[in-house]
Amino acid sequence: MAMPQRIVPRRPVRVYLAAWRKHLGLTLQQVGDRIGNGVGKGTVSRWENAERVPTLNVLGAYAEALRIPIGNLFRQPGTRGSLDEAIADAPKDVQDKAAEMVRILVRTEH
C-alpha cells in the first residue's frame, strides 16, 4: 500500500511570519518583546529564516504577539480567510442563510 501524500502549506510558514510582522509594522525586537520569555530579535529572525523550525506553541505565541489568529500565519496578509471566519460573528440567521447559499452553489456546480 502506498503512503498518502503529505499535505503541506503552499509556501513555508517562515514566509508568512515575516510578511505578517512587516505588514503590521513590527520589528524583530518588538515581536520578541511581546512574546517574552527571553525571546529576542535573533530568535525571531531564525524562525523567519527557517534556521529554527517553530513549534505549534511558538506559532501560537507568535500569533498572539502579532494579535492575529494563528490561522493567519499560514497565508499572506490581506488575503481573505474562509467563509466560516467571515461569518463567525454574524447572527445565527445570517450564518444559516450563508450555509444555504453554499449548499445551493455546490449543487449547481455539478
Burial class (CB in 10 A: 0-12, 13-18, 19+), 95: middle
- 58 with 101, same domain: the answer is no
Range of the domain at 16: 9-79
Domain count, the chain: 2
C-beta atoms surrounding 84 within 10 Å: 10
**Residue 27: which of 48, 12, 11 has the closest Cα?**
48
Query: Can you read off the three cell numbers belonging to residue 41?
Result: 530579535
pLDDT value of residue 9: 55
Report the distance separating Cα 22 and Cα 73, nearest Å. 13
Give the span between the Cα atoms of 35 and 65, in whole angstroms.
Answer: 6
Q: Name the band, by pLDDT with cuts 50, 70 and 90, for residue 45.
A: very high
Same domain, 67 and 89: no
In this structure, is residue 57 part of a structural domain?
yes
* pLDDT classification of 47: cutoffs 50, 70, 90: very high
CATH of the domain at 28: 1.10.260.40
The pTM (predicted TM-score) of the whole model is 0.64
Q: How do residues 49-105 score in pLDDT, each as one tens digit?
A: 989 888 899 999 999 999 998 988 888 887 766 677 777 778 899 888 988 888 888
Locate 72 and state its grid cell. 493567519
